[in-house]
């Protein structure tokens, strides 16, 4: 029998019956109203005094407009974080590991016991501004061994040891290093990145994707919402229930499209962070350049902020610095690529200087787009056909002989699946 868990009450709130939502549909239109119910067949909203029913197959996303991103009451509820191979991320506390599972108290959905193979990484200390970039780099590193990420003794950064993490307790982490058990004080361990066997394919999760106001992300299936409560079955088969008062978005589009930030890459390379090395040469070593300027998924290049173009925040997308190249396998499964391209607001204050990047998009070596995008341009919506193509490549190059302001957002970048004949 599946275990039913109830959300921890984070703040006092009335049941969110009739939450104000904006519903995005597959045909590009939107409807707004008060959500009455959602299940696998229909979405019901109350709008202008009328109950409207929308076929669930037509719905891409629901945005809960009354809920606030970054709620302080939620953010302070957990300093640890668990990252799952399906793309879920949950704020947590009391993380412990045994041989087969990881137990934790999730800020969003209460006590969980997750199979160890489902978890990709654990952050055991508060992120803070000091180590966030290094931690993100370690999480992206490919390794067959577990990486024990520790704080350097002088506190200036993070380092790692490769081995096997056999257990995690409140006081110490048991680590197998060259066949020898080494107990490491928990206070020195910033996090753990679990190894992945060579050749193991990345998980591409379907179903629904929920985003909460504290940044938590949960993937699952069989999503249902009624009377201000949601129910969902996680990718490891656990049934959860919680209120919707902290829910920002419910993305139901996985059966119809795939976001580039979710798909495994064929190639991802930062070719150069500065043209000719004139600005960074001798100041920033190559490893640090890779850490600072490699492409980021669903976040800006440096920091944990969401992508933002002209004041609009995007939950999904890529932030890419010149000169970088990324490619993906399409295998003829997709019909079109859609995204909005622009220089992120974080650096767009340099718009007066007119700095630009060059965006090239290719499919099977054919150039579909070659365009300069500058900091003073409005965001550029793009739709490119890729039907029948095998590979997609996106290159972000220096547009004006400079790397200043070269933070190009490929916001809401997604591939629409080809329609079944």
Contact residues for 193 (Cβ-Cβ < 8 A; gap 6+): 120, 121, 138, 139, 141, 143, 146, 147, 149, 160
pLDDT value, residue 421: 52
Kindly state the percentage of the chain with pLDDT values over 90: 46
pLDDT over 50 (residue 1): no
- pLDDT at position 338, please? 95
pLDDT at 315: 84
146-204 pLDDT per residue, tens: 999 998 888 888 999 899 998 888 888 998 888 888 899 988 899 999 998 776 666 65
Q: What is the pLDDT of residue 362?
A: 97
For residue 410, pLDDT over 70 is answered with: yes
- What percent of the chain has a predicted confidence (pLDDT) above 70? 87
pLDDT of 13 strictly over 60:
no
Predicted local confidence at residue 280, as pLDDT: 59
Q: How confident is the model at residue 219 (pLDDT cuts 50, 70, 90)?
A: very high
399: confidence class by pLDDT, cuts 50, 70, 90: confident
User: In this model, does residue 299 exceed pLDDT 80?
Assistant: yes
pLDDT digits (tens, 9 = 90+) for 254-290: 878 889 998 989 999 988 877 765 555 656 677 777 7
**Tokens 């419910």 appear where?**
250
The residue behind tokens 């997750």 is 114
Give the pLDDT confidence of 362-388 residue by residue, as tens digits.
Answer: 999 899 999 999 888 899 999 999 999
User: Across residues 43-48, what is the average pLDDT?
Assistant: 92
Over 70: is that where the pLDDT of 9 sits?
Answer: no
- Average of per-residue pLDDT values in the chain: 85
At residue 38 the predicted structure's pLDDT band, cuts being 50, 70 and 90, is very high
> Per the structure block, which two tokens stand in for 277?
């090395």
pLDDT tens-digit map of 229-264 = 999 999 999 999 988 988 999 999 887 888 999 898
pLDDT at 63 over 90: yes
Q: How many CB atoms lie within 10 A of CB 378?
A: 10
In the predicted model, what is the mean pLDDT of residues 93-105? Answer: 86
pTM to 2 decimal places: 0.72
Structural domains of the chain in order of their starting residue, each with its CATH number: 72-193 (no CATH), 267-417 (2.60.120.1060)
pLDDT surpasses 70 at 344: yes
What confidence score (pLDDT) does residue 205 get? 62
């Amino acid at each position: 029998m599946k275990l039913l868990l109830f959300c921890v009450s984070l703040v006092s709130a009335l049941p969110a019956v009739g939450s104000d939502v904006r519903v995005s549909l597959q045909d590009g239109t939107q409807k707004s109203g008060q959500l009455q119910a959602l299940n696998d067949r229909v979405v019901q909203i109350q709008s202008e005094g009328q109950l409207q029913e929308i076929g669930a197959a037509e719905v891409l996303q629901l945005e809960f407009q009354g809920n606030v991103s970054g709620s302080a009451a939620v953010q302070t509820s957990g300093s640890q974080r668990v990252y799952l191979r399906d793309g879920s991320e949950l704020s947590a506390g009391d993380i412990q590991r045994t041989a087969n599972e990881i137990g934790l108290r999730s800020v969003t959905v209460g006590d969980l016991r997750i199979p160890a193979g489902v978890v990709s990484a654990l952050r055991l200390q508060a992120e803070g501004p000091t180590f966030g970039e290094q931690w993100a780099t370690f999480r992206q590193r490919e390794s067959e061994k577990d990486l024990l990420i520790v704080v350097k003794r002088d506190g200036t950064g993070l380092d790692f040891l490769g081995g096997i993490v056999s257990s995690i307790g409140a006081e110490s982490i048991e680590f197998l290093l060259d066949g020898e058990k080494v107990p490491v004080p928990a206070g020195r361990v910033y996090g753990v990145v679990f190894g992945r066997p060579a050749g193991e394919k990345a998980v591409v999760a379907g179903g629904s994707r929920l985003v909460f106001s504290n940044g938590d992300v949960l993937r699952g299936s069989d999503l249902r919402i009624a009377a201000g409560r949601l129910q969902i079955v996680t990718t490891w088969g656990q049934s959860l229930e919680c209120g919707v008062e902290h829910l920002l978005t419910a993305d139901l589009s996985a059966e119809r499209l795939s976001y580039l930030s979710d798909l495994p890459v064929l190639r991802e390379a930062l070719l150069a962070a500065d043209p000719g090395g004139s600005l960074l040469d001798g100041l920033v070593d190559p490893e640090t350049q890779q850490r600072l300027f490699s492409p980021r998924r669903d976040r800006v290049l440096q920091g944990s902020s969401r992508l933002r173009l002209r004041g609009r925040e995007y939950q999904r997308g890529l932030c890419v610095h010149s000169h970088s190249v990324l490619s993906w396998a399409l295998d003829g499964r997709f019909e079109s690529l859609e995204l909005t391209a622009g220089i992120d607001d974080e650096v767009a204050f340099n718009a007066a200087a007119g700095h630009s990047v060059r965006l090239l998009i290719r499919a099977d070596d054919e150039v579909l787009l070659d365009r300069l995008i500058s900091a003073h341009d409005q965001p550029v919506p793009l739709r490119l056909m890729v039907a029948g193509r095998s590979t997609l490549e996106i290159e972000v190059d220096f547009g004006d002989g400079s790397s200043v302001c070269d933070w190009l957002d490929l916001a809401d970048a997604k591939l629409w699946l080809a329609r079944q004949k």
